[in-house]
Structure 1
Amino acid sequence: MTASGISPSAVETFAARERERFLQRNPKSVALAERARHSLFGGVPMHWMADWSTPVPLFVERAKGARFHDVDGHTYIDFCLGDTGSMFGHSPEPIARAIAEQGNNGLTTMLPGEDAVVCGELLAARFGLPFWQVTATATDSNRYVLRWARAITRRNTLLVFDGCYHGTVDDVMVRSRDGATVHRSGLIGQAYDLSQHSRSIPFNDLAALEAALAQGDVCALLCEPAMTNIGMVLPEPGFMQQCRELTRKYGSLLIIDETHTISTDIGGCTRLWDLDPDFFVVGKPIAGGVPCGIFGCSAAMADAMQRVRQQASADSHGHGHSGMGTTLSANALAMHCMRANLEQVMTQTAYDHMLPLAARLADGFRRLIGKHDLKWSVTELGARSEFQFCPLAPKTGAEAEAAFHDELQMALHLYLINRGILITPFHNMCLCCPDTSAADVDLLIATLDQALSELLAIPGARE
């Protein structure tokens, strides 16, 4: 018996049946997968696209709102939504119009337009930080903010929480093991020891947080206000406020990354919980699915950044290179789409629709857990909810990871896919968007109920 309460043999019997069903149901995806393996590494344009629960990749033809359609003609209700890249639905009408409008007006020029000014004003009004920069991704934003933090504080060590997610910034690819900072398992091609300048500690551990900051070498704490990628882990009451107080006490900066948690409120957890960061980052949902990232800073940080730039310019006789920015950063297409997204898509009306549906979904998960007498729990945050294979909601990344049951998770996901429902891979998180309906939520609950009933009916499933 595993911690999930369901035997591995029953899970494998269940999963084998679903794999065969997928292969029979999706001949065009199977054919494309065979064709793709001759030209794409791993048969996909980015290798992790093969890490879903399906026996071969599911190939998509088109997506709109809360639904997408595969090449075999099946329609799916999408609760993954590009892992928040399409947080407000696939191809919202204002974004589709913005793409068409800008398509004939230039895509990238390395120069600003009026859209950039409007976006800066909208971001400042929404999130409370006065100054903004635009990047291509949240990974870029986090990487550049880290450079600024190190330059401003003249300290090198970055502090992160164990199990954090901040894109693919090298410095965050660490974990905490028995009080020591180590490389994340599976990290490929790492040439230098990340623990020299990165430190990882457990989430929700105030003593560990203060001990790490008290060493006096931390340039910044980079954190999500709630952990979202190792399974959802919520902060204990007052923990994020203590992060702010302790970073100030020890002369470190606070960087809040809301690329995922922006689903919580129109101003993110930052506004909802009054977190007052030095820097603030959002990535993939900010331009309606068009690649774009942003970071904002306080007035004090803007002053410090200007001093750093002036000194760098003097040291290099005006020919310095900051190590920040790509040619496509703040391109005209991204700026026009971000403006449309902020003005017309990422609205209070959208949140007023999304949040109650996510609460409905979380309540449904709890009912199923009780009905099937499972020792599982549910975590919810804004428009997100997740069921986890542990009796109590985890408080740290290590606790969330200990509750993983990859085979069970993937079997349940595949069952849902075979019946036209997609949830986020790698864990059991579901996201509601402005196009999600109550009927969609109820169908997910009913289908998961059916899956659990069939799985638990397998002989020996509860042994």
Structure 2
Amino acid sequence: MIVTAAARTDSHAATIDTLLDREQERFLRLHPRSAQDWEAGKQHFLYGGPSHWMRRWAGGFPVYAAEAKGAHIRDVDGNDYVDFALGDTGGMCGHAPEAVTRAAVRQLQNGTTMMLPTEDSLWVGAELTRRFGMPYWTLTTSATDANRGAIRIARMITGRPKVLVFSGCYHGGVEEAHVEIRDGRVGLRNMIHPNGVDHSTVSRVVEFNDVAALEQALSAGDVACVLTEPLMTNFGMIPVADGFHEALREITRRTGTVLIIDETHTISSGPGGYTSQHGLEPDILVAGKAIAGGIPAGVFGVSQEIAERLWAIVPMVNPRVRQSAHLGIGGTLAGNALTVATMRAVLEEVLTPANFERMIANATRLADGARGIIEARKLPWHVTQIGARAEIMFMPKPPRNGADVIAGRRGDLETLLHAYYMNEGILVTPFHTMFLMCPATTAAQVDRHTEVFGRFVDLLADAGVS
């Protein structure tokens, strides 16, 4: 049986390290051109690649992509992959979906960005309201920007300084959310480097699913907003406890705190995300990544009440003034014509109810296949599924909060699994073992994962780790 984190011995650690060394050596043999490209990239990019995130793959360097279609990627060395990472949700529509490509090419021929609206935006605004229930929307260039905008609006209308988040959360490059509880105090999450900001002055942090801690944290009346996912997905998937959302909504309303729900990942739940599926009532809703089919984009929608409070501070139009007061958010590329055109294609033709049904069925197939192997081998691991997304975690049961993840996570096994997967033609998000389906994902690709996962378990058994 695989040992738990608490019972893990030095010999098991050494064995896992040896297996990882072997997989990374195999990775180097399989990817000579990517290795060469990586060395060349380090001559010009601050952290080797166009984004510093790209250095975080478990092989020791990233593969360089040559082409991608649907749920398939081919790299510059000619290796093929089933892609369950899908750009950490940015590619949830699949790579190069025909409807998005068609819309993008058409709009590229008619102007990409003019800082003027197009009539496609009228359709997009109405569809966002229909799907997610919020009456008024603003487009941004990323979910990070959407979250920043939502936080700034919450501070404007409440006059309060602090943002409450849940320990271990992730909401993009939002400074207030780079935190977790460490030794009872506010610290930086997941190896984020300090930058001179005293995060305790801008953030308040409690554990997810802890109603009593939430009540206490909001009672002081200095928190402008709670920023949360419907369930946590970026620290390992942490399911929401029964009754937590009802308590969260009641407490935030009673304390005059704006509730921001970030659906950037949980949009995988269905056409209207987790919020629509479960009847949540946020004051502001954020989405991003998948919403424009891989073109950088984010959105946030506000309730009627929030809109009216904001308009009382910054009127929508004053015809006697050349420019009304600046909200301190947005940018000249936000809501550009290319993004709006692809967003319409995504909402109209790609992230449809029929496609979600197919995606969720494949996620269920993957989760069931992995669970079958785990149960047959009596491994102390579990699988969590939410809509079209599933995750394998190397702990006996789903965590209730970030503290559970910190205490039980097996980072060494995750890294080994990721390196093994890449050598076997499987891609998952390098930050955790989370799988996402797109409309083009097939049952055969899912079954390929089940086969590879089974062989990984055999590898551990043969090495004496089990």
The alignment's TM-score, normalised by the length of structure 1, stands at: 0.96
Which deviations, in whole Å up to 9, do the C-alpha atoms of 1:181-200 show, x marking residues without a partner?
23336334623312112101
Q: How does 1:71-220 map to 2 (within 5 A)?
A: 71-184=76-189, 186-188=191-193, 190-220=195-225
Count residues with an aligned counterpart: 459
Establish whether residue 449 from structure 1 lines up as the match of residue 454 from structure 2.
Answer: yes
Q: Give the superposition deviation at 1:2.
A: 4.9
Give the Cα–Cα distance (whole angstroms) in 1 for the partners of residues 47 and 164 of structure 2. 34
Q: How does 1:288-303 map to 2 (within 5 A)?
A: 288-303=293-308
Q: How does 1:50-449 map to 2 (within 5 A)?
A: 50-184=55-189, 186-188=191-193, 190-310=195-315, 320-449=325-454
Q: Give the superposition deviation at 1:38.
A: 1.1
Q: Secondary structure at the match of 1:456?
A: helix
Which deviations, in whole Å up to 9, do the C-alpha atoms of 1:31-84 show, x marking residues without a partner?
111211111123211112111101222111111101111001111100110010
The aligned residue for residue 46 of structure 2 is 41
Give the Cα–Cα distance (whole angstroms) in 2 for the partners of residues 128 and 312 of structure 1. 24
Q: Give the superposition deviation at 1:5.
A: 7.3
Give the Cα–Cα distance (whole angstroms) in 2 for the partners of residues 319 and 352 of structure 1. 45
Change (3 A) 1:306 1:415: same
Q: Give the superposition deviation at 1:291.
A: 0.4
Given that residues 10 and 455 in structure 1 are in contact (C-alpha distance below 8 angstroms), is that contact kept between their aligned partners in structure 2?
A: no
Percent identity over paired residues: 45
Given that residues 2 and 8 in structure 1 are in contact (C-alpha distance below 8 angstroms), is that contact kept between their aligned partners in structure 2?
A: no
Given that residues 5 and 374 in structure 1 are in contact (C-alpha distance below 8 angstroms), is that contact kept between their aligned partners in structure 2?
A: no
Q: Secondary structure at the match of 1:441?
A: helix
Change (3 A) 1:443 1:112: same
In structure 2, what residue type is equivalent to 1:131? Answer: Y
The alignment's TM-score, normalised by the length of structure 2, stands at: 0.95
Q: Give the superposition deviation at 1:420.
A: 0.8
Which deviations, in whole Å up to 9, do the C-alpha atoms of 1:97-155 show, x marking residues without a partner?
01110111111111111011111001011111111100000000000111100111111
> Structure 1: 5+ residue runs without aligned partners?
none
Give the Cα–Cα distance (whole angstroms) in 2 for the partners of residues 137 and 317 of structure 1. 28
Give the Cα–Cα distance (whole angstroms) in 2 for the partners of residues 457 and 371 of structure 1. 16
Q: Secondary structure at the match of 1:68?
A: strand
Change (3 A) 1:366 1:311: closer
Change (3 A) 1:111 1:413: same
Change (3 A) 1:185 1:450: closer
Which deviations, in whole Å up to 9, do the C-alpha atoms of 1:329-367 show, x marking residues without a partner?
001100000011110111001111011111111111111
The aligned residue for residue 3 of structure 1 is 5
Q: Give the superposition deviation at 1:264.
A: 0.6
Give the Cα–Cα distance (whole angstroms) in 2 for the partners of residues 436 and 402 of structure 1. 34
2:21 aligned residue (16, 20, 28): 16
In structure 2, what residue type is equivalent to 1:67? Answer: H
In structure 1, what residue type is equivalent to 2:5? Answer: A
> Structure 2: 5+ residue runs without aligned partners?
none
The aligned residue for residue 465 of structure 2 is 461
In structure 2, what residue type is equivalent to 1:156? Answer: P
Q: Give the superposition deviation at 1:318.
A: 6.2
Given that residues 232 and 400 in structure 1 are in contact (C-alpha distance below 8 angstroms), is that contact kept between their aligned partners in structure 2?
A: no
